[in-house]
Amino acid sequence: MKKLILLTALLVGSLPLLLGSTDPAAQQFLVTAAQQASLFDDQARPLQLDVDFLAQMNVPAQGHLTFKWEATHRWWRRIVMGDFEQIDIRTSKGFTPAAI
């Protein structure tokens, strides 16, 4: 009987949490934080990202990635690994890859 009363009190006390009421200020805070954390957002400022990496295939291979971002429809990416080089360019709504 004590367990039933305790369980009922616990459920009644947690009812507001279970209903999932949302706080508009908290929701806006989360949206703003997500936009600031996103590097690839149309509202973000242009950026250039340079990354040196080590890829493990049959043997380890060092590589370099250069990524220039202006907007969702306007970016440039270059990957170099040993003798391999690939450049991808997006300047409009379409996608135009070019391998060198």
Interatomic CA distance for residues 29 and 37, integer angstroms:
12
The model's pTM: 0.52
Q: Is the pLDDT of residue 96 over 60?
A: no
Q: Is the pLDDT score of 61 beyond 70?
A: yes
pLDDT at 24 over 70: yes
Q: Domain-by-domain residue ranges, the chain?
A: 44-100
**pLDDT tens-digit map of 27-36:** 888 777 777 7
Measured CA distances, 56 to 53, 60, 61, 64, 78 (Å): 10, 4, 6, 14, 19
Q: Is the pLDDT of residue 66 over 90?
A: yes
Average pLDDT score over residue span 9-36: 70
Q: What is the pLDDT of residue 93?
A: 64
